[in-house]
Amino acid sequence: MPELVETHVPAHHHASDCPNCGAVLSGKFCHGCGQPGELHPPSAGEFLHEFIGHYVALESKLWRTLRLLVLKPGALTREYLAGRRVRYIEPLRVYLTLSLIFFALFKFMGEDHEIAGIKFHSVDVVKIDSDKEARSSAKDVPARLREDMRAELARDQDLKALHDRHPGLSGLGDKLDARFSGSDEHKLKAAFFAYAPYAVFALMPVFALYLNLLYLGARRRYGEHLLFALHANAFAYLMLSVLLLVPSFVPWLGTLLAMWLAFYLPLAMRRVYGGTRLATFARWFVLMALHLASVLAVIVAVFYVAAGH
C-alpha cells in the first residue's frame, strides 16, 4: 500500500528544515532555494499579490530591455558585459521570443492572404478576362494564322493519340504537376516554417564566429561575440516583425524602420568593439556579406529538406 503524504499545512507553521530542498533553516528564508520558512495555507489575496508582483517585475524588465535594445545600439550588450544583468531579460530568452514572434507573424500574414482569397480571386479574374478576350478577338485572326492554328491543333490531336497509346507519358506530366502544386505546396510551407526557426538559430554560433575572425586582435572571448550576435539578431527580428505590421498607407514609417535596421548593426559594433568609423564599416560590410551568404545557404537547405517531406 503506497505511503500517504501529509498535505495539510497548519496555519503559520515554521519548519526546522526546508520542505522544498531539505536544507536546515536558520532564518525566515531558506539559504539554499530562497523559499520562505514560515508556511501557511495560501489566501486568494496572496495569489493575486504574487501574480501582480511577478507581472510588474517582468513588464518592467521587458520594457527596460526593449528600450535599450531599440534606442541604443550595443548598449544592452555592454550592460551585460559590465555585470548589470538582473535588471534585463536574459539574451537567449530575448532572441528566442522575438524570433518566434517574427516567424509566427510571417506565417500568419502569408496564411491570411490566402484565407482572404486574394490569390484565388486574382487567378479567377485573369482566367475570366483571358477567356473573354480570346472569344472577342477570335474573329480578328487572319485566315493564314487560323490555318496555322488548325495545324497546331491537329498536332495536339496526334500527341493525344500518342498519350493514349503510351499512358505512362501523360502520367509523368501529371506527377510533376502534382509534386509542386495543391496539397504538396501546403506541406512545403508547413515544413519550411517548422524548420526555418531552428535553422536560423543554428546560424548564431556562425555569426559569432565571423565576429571572432573580424576582431582577432580585440582579445574578446567567443562568448562575448555570441552575446552580441543574440542581441543584434533579436533587434533584427523585432524590426522585421514591426515592418510586417506597418500599414501600406504609411510607407514613410516602413522606410524609417528599414533605414534604422540597416544602420543599427555598425553603430552597435562600434559601441561594443570600438574602432574607427572606416574600420567598423569595412568589418560590417564583410560581416553582412558572409551572413547573407549563410542565410541563403540555410534557406536553400531548408527548402531542400522540406521538399523531401
Tens-digit pLDDT profile for residues 75-131: 999 999 999 998 999 999 999 999 999 998 888 875 444 333 334 333 343 343 444
Q: Under the phi-then-psi rule, with left for phi > 0, alpha for psi from -120 to 50, and beta for the rest, what region is 177?
A: alpha
Residue in 164, 46, 137, 102 with CA at minimum distance from that of residue 145:
137
Rounded (10°) CA dihedral 294, 299, 301, 303: -170
Q: What DSSP character marks residue 88?
A: S
From residue 158, give the alpha-carbon distance in Å to each of 146, 153, 162, 172, 276: 19, 9, 6, 18, 73
Q: Mean pLDDT across the stretch 277-288? A: 95
279 confidence band (pLDDT: 50, 70, 90): very high
Integer Cα distance of 89 and 80 in angstroms: 10
Of 65, 67, 68, the residue nearest 94 (C-alpha) = 65
| Alpha-carbon distances, residue 197 vs 99, 108, 208, 295 (angstroms) | 7, 15, 18, 12
Neighbours of 175 (CB within 10 A): 9
Cα 167–chain centre separation: 45
Give pLDDT tens digits for 215-237. Answer: 998 889 999 999 999 999 999 99
C-alpha–C-alpha distance, residues 294 and 296, integer Å: 5
Report residue 214 CA to chain centroid gap: 26
Q: Are 30 and 20 in contact (CB under 8 A)?
A: yes
Does the global pTM surpass 0.85? Answer: no
Better-scored residue on pLDDT, 308 or 239: 239
What's the mean per-residue pLDDT of the chain?
75
E strands within the chain?
13-14, 38-39
Residue 41 confidence (pLDDT) above 50: yes
pLDDT at residue 27, as a whole number: 73
In the chain, % helix, strand, coil (3-state, to 5) comes to 75, 5, 20
Residue 59 pLDDT grade (very low, low, confident, very high; cuts 50, 70, 90): confident
d(CA 157, CA 150) in angstroms, rounded, equals 10
Q: What is the pLDDT of residue 108?
A: 81
- pLDDT at position 147: 60
For 12, 43, 122, 132, 133, the CA distances from 126, given in Å and listed in that order, are: 76, 66, 6, 10, 10
For 142-200, the pLDDT digits (tens) are 555 556 555 655 555 555 555 565 555 555 455 445 554 555 667 777 777 778 888 88
